[in-house]
Amino acid sequence: MAPRFGIGEHIERLSPGSRLSLGTFLLVAGCVADFVSGPQYRVLLLYLAAVTYAAWYVGVRFAVLASIACTGSRLVVEWGGPGPHTAVYWNSVMRLLSFLLVVWLTREKRTDFVRIRDRGARDAVSLRAERTFSGSLQREVEVREAEQRRIGRDLHDGLSQYLTAAMLASQVLEERLTARSTEESLLARRIGGLVRDAMGLVQALTRGLYPADLMAAGLPATLERLAATTHGLSRAPCDFTTTDEDMRLDETQATHLFRIAQEALSNAVRHAGATRLSIGLALVGDRVELTVTDDGVGISGDAANSGGLGMRTMRERARSMGASLDVGPLPRGGTRVRCVVTVARGAAVAEDGVAAEIPTVEVDLRSPATGSAAS
């Protein structure tokens, strides 16, 4: 269906020469009508239409010339009519001033109209670009999520099985060497220990990439394991507190909250140089609040608003589930990431059926040995 345009939009689409020709036609038509009707009839509305059109669609210069032409035309018509010439001169002066006032007011309105129209066009372009970017970022989040799940399954089904076989083989070798009372049994035991450590590392990576037990164990238990894994991989203490160990969320919200916490911890360890981390999860009424804090170098307001891909991914995850995400510095240093999402009624229930309070998570900014601020 073809778009419909008003008369004004059709005129706007004309070329400047066509608009000038139409304005000249209106001006000549008003003057001719005035000459034909004579001084006893007033055709002020025709003159006003020509002047207003000239000021809106053509320009100031043509509008001023049209005002002078309309005033001169009416002066010639009234000159031949009854009445003193002094009144004719006075009426002409007032008429010219009125036309010029109409020109000024019309141009002011035109300027406001163009400004509002251009602003609306820019906003529309920005909105389309934001929607396009949001859609592409959402697709990227989904692709990353699928790829992480695939890698996690591959690690669990592939590398973990080989490591398990290697650990069993090292145990058999250790038993045989021990039976022979050879010194190589200690080396076999050491190899078995290294393989077990590698299996623990692979399991930690697998749980981070693919939290398959997120719905079975629940978000609090999964976040607690995430804190332990982060401590093991980064050597930075990571605490976890929650108001409800049996909190239940739907899979989409639980996955997004887990990924937001995971990204916040990763940023704190890799970029902020944090030496202490904490995760808080609270249920308040029908809202679930996730808080991740660290004692790193902190984050500026500009970096929190712009940020890199990780920051944009966290914001897209929060937006996709209708949550609010706030990232900012702490008063005593460090960074706080806070995500609040409203859950469906009955989806998250406290153990005693009573809404819980938000946990207060303190960040230790001082070294226990020296009492100085941690770098």
The per-residue pLDDT for range 227-274, each reduced to its tens digit, is 888 887 778 889 999 988 777 788 888 888 988 998 888 888 887 888
Give me the DSSP letters along 197-265. Answer: HHHHHHHHHHHHH--TTHHHH-HHHHHHHHHHHHHHHH-S-EEEEES-TT----HHHHHHHHHHHHHHH
- Does pLDDT of 368 surpass 50? no
Whether 66 contacts 54, CB under 8 Å: yes
Q: Which two tokens stand for residue 29?
A: 């038509």
- Does pLDDT of 165 surpass 50? yes
Structure confidence at residue 347 (pLDDT) = 53
Of the pLDDT bands very low, low, confident and very high (cuts 50, 70, 90), residue 212 is low
Of the pLDDT bands very low, low, confident and very high (cuts 50, 70, 90), residue 337 is very high
- The full 3-state SS of 175-189, as one line of letters, equals HHHHHCCCCHHHHHH
Of 60-69, 122-131, 273-282, give the lowest mean pLDDT range: 122-131
- Does pLDDT of 361 surpass 50? no
Of the pLDDT bands very low, low, confident and very high (cuts 50, 70, 90), residue 367 is very low
CA 158 to mean position of chain CA atoms: 39
In what order do the strands lie in the sheet containing 324-329? 238-242, 277-284, 287-294, 335-342, 324-329
3-state DSSP percent of the chain in helix, strand and coil, to 5: 65, 10, 25
Of the pLDDT bands very low, low, confident and very high (cuts 50, 70, 90), residue 373 is very low
Q: Which domains does the chain have, with CATH numbers?
A: 7-131 (no CATH), 238-375 (3.30.565.10)
Q: If you average pLDDT over residues 352-357, what whole number do you get?
A: 40
Of the pLDDT bands very low, low, confident and very high (cuts 50, 70, 90), residue 355 is very low
CA 171 to mean position of chain CA atoms: 54
CA distance 221 to 227: 10
Question: Which stretches of 243-300 are assigned E, i.e. beta strand?
Answer: 277-284, 287-294
Of the pLDDT bands very low, low, confident and very high (cuts 50, 70, 90), residue 105 is very high
| DSSP, res 373 | B
Structure confidence at residue 277 (pLDDT) = 92
Q: Which two tokens stand for residue 321?
A: 């589930």
Residue-wise pLDDT tens digits, 268-318: 888 788 889 999 999 888 889 999 999 888 776 666 666 666 788 888 888
Structure confidence at residue 101 (pLDDT) = 92
- Taking CA atoms, 114 is separated from 37, 121, 185, 199, in Å, by 38, 10, 87, 67
**Number of residues that make up the chain:** 375
* Residue 293, amino acid: T
